[in-house]
């Protein structure tokens, strides 16, 4: 039996279906793992088994480990999401109240760490091998064992001028956290929160910081140059565009009530301008983009820069907060890459990326094949992990998930569809040849 935390082992698994994503599905397949890497796969039997242990899994589907490109794991202790009935601005009010209550507790940082650890383990149990995490505190992600790969996006936000005492202190803390994460070996990204909560000037700081981090290793190892993606929530609410133009309405009332509206009028930029800004980074993640199809300038800029940008949609959160699904059809029509995130448990009942994909499939916005690409190869690209994870291929790290369907699939299409069936169980999740969740014989 392989248990989480074991050292690298070499073995061959036999499975009814293997969906490598890098090539066509295989029936009655084998997959060889040696020293953490995939060293071969094909239709049973393998040419040579050497002395490797062979594990026959029977009726299972093996595919690339999943990528959840957008989470807020600090909310993983929430038993249920905050109410989404009043829309984004009301939801933010509840979230900020909850965070302020938490921060008055002396065990805040322990609670925060425990929630993040719980979220990481829940994700691995859902078949996830890579996460895009938005961090608002200085958490030691590198100390968490048996975890998926994580791109930690340190969040920046604030309506106070960055030249004010408050603004300068806040920015310095965020930059210091990002540097600490980077020094600890974590893959780092940066995240100006959203256009309604972030001064435009903070964007300039983020661009400079992202370029500085990227340049750090440019001269040392050109091939593995450190990538610093930038992620931002954009076009989440119908009220957002109006607020950005007039600085009035529900968002203004919200910020005044929370005591964060500054004395000086904040310098806020449009969605389209933030998209151009993201395109200057190494790689930009547009999170949600729910109302982008209403903003032709913003959508055309996203289309123009689609080689460097990706839309990260969170269907269940979007449905709950906006009563509609993300404009995936428009993104696909414009040739824009799409990947998926669960967002956090503050707006979603769980961290199941498969359930997120099933929501798109059930509503006809994606085929099972498209959904599989979104939660594997596309998600890996979004996080800058495309050389490490996102597909099963010889010579690459053995990042894969083993699933057991309730009904045996007869065709490749059925095997793909069964990944998103809620009766299909995750047997085990492997990162680099090691199990990070589940056990199997």
What residues line the site for Zn ion (CB under 5 A)?
A: 343
What is the DSSP pairing of strand 128-135 with strand 66-71?
Answer: parallel
Residue closer to Zn ion (CB basis): 343 or 399: 343
Identify the helix (H) or strand (E) that includes residue 362: helix 353-362
Residue closer to Zn ion (CB basis): 199 or 317: 317
Q: How far is the CB of 360 from Zn ion (least distance, A)?
A: 17
Nearest in space to 320 (alpha carbons), one of 360, 358, 347, 345: 347
Q: How far is the CB of 72 from Zn ion (least distance, A)?
A: 5
**Residue with the shortest CB distance to Zn ion:** 343
Residue closer to Zn ion (CB basis): 135 or 366: 135
Residue closer to Zn ion (CB basis): 161 or 317: 317
What is the DSSP pairing of strand 400-404 with strand 61-64?
Answer: antiparallel
Q: How far is the CB of 314 from Zn ion (least distance, A)?
A: 7
Separation of alpha carbons 154 and 142, rounded Å: 14
Q: How many helices (H) and strands (E) does the chain have?
A: 14, 16
For 230-360, where are the E strands, in sequence order?
A: 230-234, 284-288, 309-313, 338-340
Q: How far is the CB of 328 from Zn ion (least distance, A)?
A: 17
Alpha carbon 108 to its chain's center: 24
Residue identified by tokens 């074991």 is 6
Residue closer to Zn ion (CB basis): 289 or 433: 289
Separation of alpha carbons 266 and 160, rounded Å: 7
Residue closer to Zn ion (CB basis): 20 or 148: 148
Separation of alpha carbons 265 and 377, rounded Å: 42
Quote the longest CA-to-CA distance of the chain.
Answer: 73
Q: How far is the CB of 164 from Zn ion (least distance, A)?
A: 26
Residue closer to Zn ion (CB basis): 286 or 398: 286
Nearest in space to 274 (alpha carbons), one of 240, 302, 239, 246: 302
Q: How far is the CB of 71 from Zn ion (least distance, A)?
A: 8
Nearest in space to 203 (alpha carbons), one of 247, 234, 177, 225: 234
Q: How far is the CB of 231 from Zn ion (least distance, A)?
A: 9
Q: How far is the CB of 407 from Zn ion (least distance, A)?
A: 35
Q: Tally the C-alpha atoms within 13 A of residue 201's C-alpha that lie toward its C-beta.
A: 13
Residue closer to Zn ion (CB basis): 342 or 429: 342
Separation of alpha carbons 136 and 437, rounded Å: 26
């Amino acid at each position: 039996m392989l248990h989480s935390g074991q050292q690298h082992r070499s073995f061959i698994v036999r499975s009814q279906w293997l969906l490598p994503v890098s090539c066509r599905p295989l029936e009655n397949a084998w997959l060889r793992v040696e020293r953490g890497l995939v060293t071969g796969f094909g239709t049973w039997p393998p040419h040579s088994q050497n002395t490797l242990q062979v594990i026959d899994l029977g009726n299972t589907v093996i595919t690339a480990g999943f990528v959840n490109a957008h989470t807020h794991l600090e909310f993983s202790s929430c038993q249920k999401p905050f109410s989404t009935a009043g829309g984004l601005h009301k939801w933010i009010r509840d979230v900020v109240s909850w965070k302020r209550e938490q921060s008055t507790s002396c065990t805040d940082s322990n609670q925060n760490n425990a929630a993040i650890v719980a979220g990481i383990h829940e994700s691995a149990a859902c078949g996830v091998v890579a996460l895009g995490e938005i961090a608002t505190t200085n958490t030691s992600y590198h100390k968490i064992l048996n975890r998926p790969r994580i791109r930690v996006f340190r969040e920046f936000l604030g309506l106070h001028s960055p030249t004010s005492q408050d603004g300068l202190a806040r920015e310095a803390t965020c930059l210091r956290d990002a540097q600490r994460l980077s020094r600890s070996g974590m893959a780092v990204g940066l995240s100006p929160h959203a256009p309604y909560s972030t001064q435009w000037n903070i964007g300039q700081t983020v661009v400079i910081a992202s370029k500085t981090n990227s340049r750090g290793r440019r001269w040392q190892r050109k091939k593995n140059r450190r990538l610093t993606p930038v992620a931002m929530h954009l076009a989440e609410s119908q009220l957002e565009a109006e607020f950005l133009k007039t600085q009035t309405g529900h968002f203004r009332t919200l910020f005044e009530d929370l005591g964060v509206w500054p004395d000086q009028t904040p310098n806020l930029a449009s969605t389209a301008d933030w998209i151009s800004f993201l395109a200057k980074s190494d790689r930009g993640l547009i999170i949600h983009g729910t109302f982008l199809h209403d903003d032709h300038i913003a959508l055309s800029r996203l289309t123009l820069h689609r080689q460097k940008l990706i839309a990260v949609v969170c269907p269940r959160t979007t449905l709950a907060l906006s009563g509609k699904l993300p404009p995936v059809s428009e993104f696909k029509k414009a040739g824009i890459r799409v990947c998926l995130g669960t967002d956090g448990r503050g707006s979603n009942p769980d961290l199941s990326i498969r359930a997120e994909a099933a929501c798109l499939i059930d509503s006809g916005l994606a085929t099972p094949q498209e959904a599989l690409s979104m939660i594997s190869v596309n998600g890996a690209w979004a996080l800058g992990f495309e050389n490490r994870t996102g597909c099963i291929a010889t010579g690459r790290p053995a990042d894969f998930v083993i699933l057991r369907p309730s009904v045996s699939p007869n065709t490749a299409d059925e095997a793909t569809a069964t990944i998103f069936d809620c009766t299909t169980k995750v047997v085990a999740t492997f990162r680099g040849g090691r199990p990070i969740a589940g056990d199997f014989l």
